[in-house]
Amino acid sequence: MTRIDDTPPAWDERTQLTTFLDYTRDAARAKCDGVSEENARKALLPGSPLMTMSGVVNHLRWVEYHWFHVVFLGGEDRGPWTEEDPDREMRVAVDFPLARLLDEYAGQSARYRELVAGHDLDTRARRAVRNGLHVDLRWILHHLIEETARHNGHLDILREMLDGTTGT
């Protein structure tokens, strides 16, 4: 896993943003190491019945898809969610092996890493967000770092509840 605690302060903004995003992605995958298929599908939080390790990983995958493919590139939204079931990506995750979800997330991350490398951080998204603004690639990277780090906390809690494993 990429370490960020020894990041040289002279790195440019792009390198810092992509390093942090890669670190949070790698951390999410590492938190799933050794989790059984049964445990990956268990929902332990009564107020969040969709919050499973599989669900969180699938959510992270589809969140990146939404921000890079749909918002930034302006592509057609083929995500699993619907107006009736806005969290469907978390619900359907239990139908797939965790290894498959992790592999799809890793493959997609590699493709989006190339996408980010090919665009200036000031490039505006083709689609507007809810408030009508067209955010730039820099904003999307910051948002994905925050989103992934927040869900890594959920993965930590779920993992500890499932088998006592704690993360760093």
* pTM assigned to the model: 0.93
Q: Is the pLDDT of residue 2 over 60?
A: no
How large is the average pLDDT for residues 27-44?
96
Query: For residues 12 and 140, is the Cβ–Cβ distance under 8 A?
Result: no
Half-sphere exposure of 153 (CA within 13 A, CB side): 5
| CA end-to-end distance (rounded Å), the chain | 12
Q: Is the pLDDT of residue 162 over 60?
A: yes
Domain 13-163 sits in CATH at: 1.20.120.450
Tokens describing residue 58: 């699938």
Q: Residues with Cβ < 8 Å from 161, sequence gap 6 or more? A: 44
The 10s digit of each residue's pLDDT in 94-128 is 999 999 999 999 999 999 999 999 999 999 999 99
**Where do the structural domains in the chain lie, given as residue ranges?**
13-163
Query: For residues 58 and 90, is the Cβ–Cβ distance under 8 A?
Result: yes
Q: How confident is the model at residue 161 (pLDDT cuts 50, 70, 90)?
A: very high
Q: Is the pLDDT of residue 42 over 90?
A: yes
**Regarding predicted confidence, which is higher, 6 or 67?**
67
How large is the average pLDDT for residues 66-94?
96
Tracing tokens 């779920």 back to the chain, one arrives at: 158
Cα 38 to its chain centre, rounded Å, is 22
Query: For residues 99 and 35, is the Cβ–Cβ distance under 8 A?
Result: no
The 10s digit of each residue's pLDDT in 133-151 is 999 999 999 999 999 999 9
Three state DSSP letters for the chain: CCCCCCCCCCCCHHHHHHHHHHHHHHHHHHHCCCCCHHHHCCCCCCCCCCCCHHHHHHHHHHHHHHHHHHHHCCCCCCCCCCCCCCCHHHHHHHHCCHHHHHHHHHHHHHHHHHHHHCCCCCCECCCCCCCCCCCEHHHHHHHHHHHHHHHHHHHHHHHHHHHCCCCC
